Chains A and B, each alone.
Chain A
Amino acid sequence: MRDVAVMGVGMTKWGELWEKSLRNIFVETALQALDDAGIDKIDSMHVGSMSSGLFVGQEHIASLLTDYLGVNPIPCSRVETACASGGLALRTGFMEVACGMSDVVLVGGIEKMTDVSGSEATYALGSAADQEYEGYHGITFPGLYALIAKAHMEKYNTTREQLAQVAVKNHSNGSLNPLAQFPFKVTVDKVLNSVMIADPLRILDCSPITDGAAAAILCPVDMVKQKGKPVIKVTGSGHATDSIALAHRDDITWLEATYQAGKKAYGMADKKPQDIDVLEVHDCFTIAEICVLEALGIVEKGKGGEAVEKGLSSLDGKIPVNTSGGLKAKGHPVGATGIAQVIEIVKQLRGEGEKRQVKDARVGMTQNMGGSGGSTLVHIFEKE
């Protein structure tokens, strides 16, 4: 296997982009990644999208996107594993470069979510759960994570305030990220008084509906060196699955797929949780960040709530988590999220984190999760 590096990244401002179409959001972002890499030719593309079919009624976006990026006839695949589709695009591109099939691969993610009404968006997102045995009974995504939150609170004495502190931290980080959808701070009080969605989760515990894309260029490490660019290597990649239905897990507070994907990535990169300097995780809901830190071994089982309360995961903490603002503040265009996490880590490792730069960051990690935890991708990046 060849060593693989990220040569360029691209991401435009996220939000409710009424005036922009799916294809144009993607193309603008992809062009930015090409310019950042300083190249004009790619060998292939992999693009994550959870549900372009339900959100804009458009399937077959692989060829739509190569066509409008002006790169036909290169091969392109659209990959899908719900909210982890972006992470899967990264892994697919990584494997293609590592094995030598291609030299320069664009990996991206896109979701255009605001062309449908709120309840249609809720329905589309709900299709990441078991439609026949979860959705059929009226449970929503906030509802599934609410079941996890309730169980975590009872089992480990995790508090309602600790959940709110995840949102406070991520919005504080997001206020320093000009590309974030909601770059403003919130307080614990504001979270605790926001509208109830699915008890105990309130609207400020939930990631938003977002239009956005992200793209990165992967290539062999030698090529980046020849170009004299900063070398950010992909040194670990893990991908794992779990039951699609929450009910079928022995312990609903434990994210086994995240644990398994993390174990693979740590093993491949020969790293331990304490080696990670900066971490982007899938905080689709505040409780998710707490459970993910436990499953990745950053903290012990049941201690995720304490981690945020004691400042372990703050920007100036021992392991800063979601310096980008996370899904919570940056936004969550589902298919794009996994690649946007990579972009934040690459910026941090290059020292381009601006006001949210983590000092001396050399090793970064991303965790991108589908559904209520039925699929997860974990990647580790290192600055050479």
Chain B
Amino acid sequence: MSLPSRYWREIPQRYRLEAYKCQNCGAVHFPPRLVCSKCQSRKMEKIRLSGRGQIVSFTIIRVPPHQFEDQAPYAVGLAELEEGIKLTAQIVDCPFEELKTGMKVKVEFRKVFQQGESGILCYGYKFVPE
């Protein structure tokens, strides 16, 4: 089991969708990275993602890792946000038969899973239909 520092250092990204925008080429990076993967510039500014986008691909996980056993089956998708970047998260509040690529989603703050026997709650973002 990891110490809490591993969890809280990701909070700005997971709770507030903080990303970096390259000041040289304009590429947006989520999660933030120190060097731009498009132009190698190190000049970044902090931005917050709009949280609006559409589903590029999705699947339904029927055989989950152990920390998600109580949630299966659940949908996970890739969504492309307005800023042109993609991220991976669960798609919730949507019956499986209504899932489709191109569907508009917004990113909401939710509980993601419960860690270990002590039941520490791990939060983050999920996609919900718009």
- Could you tell me which A residues sit within 8 Å of B by CB distance? 119-120, 122-123, 126, 132-140, 142-143, 146-148, 150-151, 154, 195-201, 243, 245-248, 252
CA of A196 to CA of B89, assembled, Å: 20
Distance in angstroms between the alpha carbons of A136 and B123 in the assembled complex = 10
Which residues of chain A come closer than 8 Å to B121, judged between CB atoms?
none
Give the residue of A137, A148, A200 whose beta carbon is less than 8 angstroms from that of B88. A137
Which B residues are in CB contact (< 8 Å) with A147?
57-59, 76-78
Can you give 19 A-B contacts (C-beta < 8 A)?
A: A122-B65, A126-B65, A136-B112, A136-B122, A137-B89, A137-B90, A138-B76, A138-B112, A139-B59, A142-B63, A146-B59, A147-B58, A150-B59, A151-B101, A195-B62, A196-B62, A197-B62, A199-B62, A246-B88
Q: How far is the CA of A247 from the CA of B90 in the complex (A)?
A: 13
Alpha-carbon gap, A201 to B63, bound state (A): 11
B119 CB to nearest A CB, Å: 17
Separation of A139 and B124 alpha carbons in the complex (Å): 14
| Chain B residues touching A, majority SS | strand
Q: Judge whether B64 and A140 touch: CB under 8 Å.
A: yes
With A137-B112, A248-B86 known as contacts, the answer to whether A143 contacts B59 (CB < 8 A) is yes
18 additional A-B residue pairs with CB within 8 Å, beyond A122-B64, A138-B61:
A133-B31, A136-B112, A136-B122, A137-B112, A137-B124, A139-B76, A146-B59, A150-B59, A151-B101, A197-B63, A198-B60, A198-B61, A199-B59, A199-B60, A201-B59, A247-B87, A247-B88, A252-B57
How many A-B contacts if CB must be within 8 Å? 96
Find B61's partner among A143, A148, A243 (CB 8 Å cutoff): A143
A123 to B74, CA, bound (A): 17
Give CA–CA (A289, B111) in the complex, Å. Answer: 36
Q: Mask for B21-58, Cβ within 8 A of A = 1, else 0? A: 00000000001000001000000000000000000111
* Contact assessment for B57 and A150 in the assembled complex, using a CB-CB cutoff below 8 Å: yes
Residues on the B chain within 8 Å of A146, using CB = 59
- Closest CB in chain A relative to B126 CB, distance in Å: 8
Query: Inside 8 A of A132's CB, which chain B residues have their CB?
Result: 10, 31
Complex contacts, B62 vs chain A, CB 8 Å: 195-199
**In the A-B complex, the 5 residue pairs with the closest CB atoms:** A146-B59, A247-B86, A138-B68, A119-B66, A147-B57
A200, B57: Cα distance in complex, Å: 11
Q: Which of B62-116 contact A (CB under 8 A)?
A: 62-69, 71, 74, 76-78, 86-90, 101, 112-113
Q: How far is the CB of B77 from chain A (nearest CB, A)?
A: 8
Contact A246 B78 (CB under 8 A): yes
CA gap between A22 and B113 in the complex, in Å: 34
Residues of B with C-beta under 8 A to A140: 61, 63-65
Bound form: Cα–Cα A136–B87 in Å: 12
Q: Out of A123, A148, A245, A252, which one reaches B66, CB within 8 Å?
A: A123
CB within 8 Å for A247 and B78 given contacts A133-B31, A199-B59:
yes
Is B37 in contact with A243, judged by CB distance below 8 angstroms? yes
Give the shortest distance, in Å, between A217 (CB) and chain B (any CB).
39
* Cβ contact of A134, chosen from B59, B88, B122, cutoff 8 A: B88
Residues of A within 8 A of B31 (CB): 132-133
When distances are taken between beta carbons in the complex, the residues of chain B under 8 Å from A148 are: 57
Among A138, A146, A246: residue with most chain B CB under 10 A = A138
Looking at the complex, which one of B63, B89, B113 makes contact with A198 (CB distance below 8 Å)?
A: B63
- For A119, A134, A148, the residue with the greatest tally of chain B CB atoms inside 10 Å of its CB is A119
Residue of A nearest to B122 (CB): A136
Smallest beta-carbon distance B35→chain A, Å: 13
Measured CB to CB, the closest approach of chain A to B15, in angstroms, equals 13
Which residues of B are found within 8 Å of A133, using beta-carbon distances? 31, 87-88
How many angstroms from the CA of A148 to the CA of B74 in the assembled complex?
Answer: 18
A54 smallest CB distance to B (angstroms): 12
> Which residues on A sit within 8 Å (CB–CB) of B65?
119, 122-123, 126, 135, 138, 140
* Closest chain B CB from A44 CB (angstroms): 35
Q: Give the CA-CA distance A151 to B61 in the complex, in Å.
A: 16
